Amino acid sequence: MQKLILDRLENIGDESDENHQVHDQRIVVPTILNAIADGFVKKEKSWFATSQLPSDISIRVEDITFYVHKYPLVARCGYISQIDPHEPQNSHSDYDLKLEKFPGGSETFETILKFCYGLPISLNPTNVAALRCGSEFLEMTETMEEGNLISKTEAFFTFVVLSSWNDTIIVLKSCETLSPWADNLQIVRRCCDSVAWKIFRENSTTGEIITNDEKWWFDDVATLRIDFFLRIVTALRVKGIKPEIIGQCIMNYGDKWFPSMYSETKGTDSKYGTNKRNDSQWSITSGRIGETSIIGQNKEQRTIIESLISILPPQKEVVSCKFLLRLLKMSIVYAASPALISELEKRIGMVLENASANDLLIPTYAVNEQTINSTEEQSIHNIDVVQRILDYFLMYEQQRLQQQELKSTTSNISKLVDSYLAEMARDPNVSITKFQVLAESLPRHARTCHDGLYRAIDTYLKIHPSLSEHDRRRLCKIMDCEKLSLDGCMHAAQNERLPLRIVIQVLLSEQVKMRAAVQGKDITASDDNSDKENSWSSMKKEVTSLKEELEKVKMQMIELQRDYSELQQEYVKVNNKPRSSWTSGYWRRVKKSAIFNRKMAEDETQEGKHRVKPAGRRASFHRRQSIS
């Protein structure tokens, strides 16, 4: 049967009848009229059937007008046969009939005309879907003539196209311009089912590793329109193909369709005023987009993004964290559904430990007219999104720990957060509140070393020189000086951007670490366990002593502030008192001051000795460039 159908397909246009054919009670079509033309000639935007008989109907398809004969068409096209042949031609236009939204356009209609005239045509994967839809439009059924175009294109599609992978992909791509006809005729569905079955048959192994043989079809399906791709992926999930394969297929499709989002920055970063950097910088800055706007592609890209999010396999790590973050960036840029964005943020929170700081540089703005016209200077990066993702991570981490499923991975995330904070610190528009909240989101035990946090804080202080003393102290409270390395302590002790109280704490910590380093060497060289214990005991006593000294310094500062306040109050009163009264009262108050008494005692013990005038609190510190 199949051979018989294929034989008939090869002889398209060669069939001829010896007798008259009755197709309508009003029309009798002589067979000889099927051969009244031997081709078509194009003149500008018109096509003429080459025949000795004059044409009697003109048909407009798109911007092309075909001057043809009515009888060959009505013999095989039910749609054309409904036209009254005796109806006068339209005097208001240069055509008699216009076929609106004809599937396949003028090129497909020309091929159908050749078939109606009995001329040979060629069926192939490129044109078979369009001819199938066009013949359906013109109602070229078997009731009009046996072996009509509907049956021929249907047989070719079923027995030839669907048996070949390449032909099926070609037909699917051709269906992109044939909506809704290709969908209504089930051409798309049958192609997608065929593709999914072939993929499943070739990838039905049960192994965990995805081999190159299993990826041979990735690039082919990535060329398809998103709705066709969705149908194939849905069919694959129904058939039970491995989630890892579906995940990699989705990532490959995203890499194919997503536009380039980053541009390498070279030289100085004019936005932040920082030194040369080799990392990637988001190309849309401060909410203003260049002349090459991508708003025209907004709807198409948003559809692709939302579709890919909706079909992500539920398994945790079948899609990389890097791809999920890229998908999130695109979702924000193209204003995807907030519900889908929220689901994506939760998904990223589950695998956040696999991200990098560059991956977390998420844009603030969506691509719209309001964005383009905006002149307000705001943060270029969306720190709120990262805050939510981190919160989801910590929530999932707590659940895992309660269920005793995994060891804690919180410590792995501290470097990521500190690196991200260092990047955010370069933005002059990042508020101190958002910076502080994100820095304090991690539990105290998460950071074993605070060098990365100190680097981020120092960068923020450098980029925001106008911060008040209160804000500087508030920011530095996040940092634990005892968790700084020795190098970090040495740098912080000479950092003029840090508040005085923090510098004192750093100095204490630095002395403890230096003493511990020296004693640690002595302990390593000693073989006596008792000596080791004594050394460690001595070190602990020294730490206790240093802490006590620090408390004394704090108390002295409090006392000094109190005395200063009292002297200020005394000064306010002098305006209403005689000078002699003010002078005596002032010195009585000064002599009662603990600072004055202590100063006098020091002078007595140092009498006769040469004394150097004390410098300011920063005079003994050497200036050093910031490690940021």
pLDDT at 368 over 50: no
152 contacts 8 by C-beta, under 8 angstroms = yes
Helices of type H across 294-382? 298-310, 321-333, 338-350, 369-373
pLDDT band at residue 190 using 50, 70 and 90 as cut-offs:
very high
- Phi and psi at residue 51, in whole multiples of 5°? -155, 155
Cβ proximity of 76 and 121 under 8 Å: no
Token pair of 430 as six digits: 């990042």
How is residue 54 annotated by DSSP? P
321-342: pLDDT as tens digits: 999 999 999 999 888 999 999 9
CA distance 446 to 435: 18
285 and 243 in contact (C-beta within 8 Å)? no
Q: How many CA atoms lie within 13 A of 396 on its CB side?
A: 18
User: What kind and span of H or E run contains 622?
Assistant: none
- Say which DSSP state 158 is in: I
Decide if 71 contacts 132 (C-beta within 8 A): no
Taking 90 as the threshold, does the pLDDT of residue 344 lie above it?
yes
Q: Between the CA of residue 366 and those of 329, 331, 332, what are the distances in Å?
A: 10, 9, 6
pLDDT at 270 over 50: no
Predicted confidence at residue 24, as pLDDT, reads: 38
Assign 22 to helix, strand or coil.
strand
- At residue 96 the predicted structure's pLDDT band, cuts being 50, 70 and 90, is confident
Contacts of 531 (CB under 8 A, 6+ apart): 523
* 574 — pLDDT class (breaks 50, 70, 90): low
**What distance lies between CA 295 and its chain's CA centroid?**
17
CA atoms within 13 A on the CB side of 602: 7
Of 234, 218, 282, 278, the residue nearest 427 (C-alpha): 282
Average pLDDT for the chain: 76
Q: What residues pair up with 282 in beta bridges, in sequence order?
A: 262
Task: List, in order, residues 6 or more apart from 537 with CB less than 8 Å away.
Answer: none
Say if CB 187 and CB 128 are below 8 A apart: no
Whether the bond into 180 is cis, omega within 30 of 0: yes
pTM of the model: 0.71
Whether 157 contacts 171, CB under 8 Å:
yes
Task: Spell out the alpha helix ranges (H) of 426-528.
Answer: 432-439, 451-463, 469-476, 486-493, 500-525
459 with 426: CB under 8 angstroms? yes
> Length of the chain in residues, anyone?
628
pLDDT of residue 131: 97
- Starting from the edge strand earliest in sequence, which strands make up the sheet with 64-68, in order? 40-43, 46-49, 64-68, 57-61, 97-99
196-226, pLDDT tens digit by residue?
999 998 877 544 556 666 688 999 999 999 9
Please report how the helices 383-403 and 338-350 are oriented relative to each other, as an axis angle in degrees rounded to 10: 50
Share of the chain above pLDDT 70, in %: 67
d(CA 599, CA 258) in angstroms, rounded, equals 73
Could you tell me the sign of the dihedral formed by the alpha carbons of 197, 199, 201, 206, in that order?
negative
Which amino acid is it at 552? K
Between 179 and 517, residue with greater pLDDT? 179
Between the CA of residue 165 and those of 93, 196, 434, what are the distances in Å?
46, 10, 54
* Integer Cα distance of 156 and 309 in angstroms: 37
Q: What pLDDT is attached to residue 20?
A: 35
| pLDDT tens-digit series, residues 394-437 | 999 888 877 765 556 667 899 999 999 999 999 999 999 999 99
- Alpha carbons 115 and 603: distance in angstroms, whole number: 119
Kindly state the helix (H) or strand (E) to which residue 55 belongs, with its residue range. none
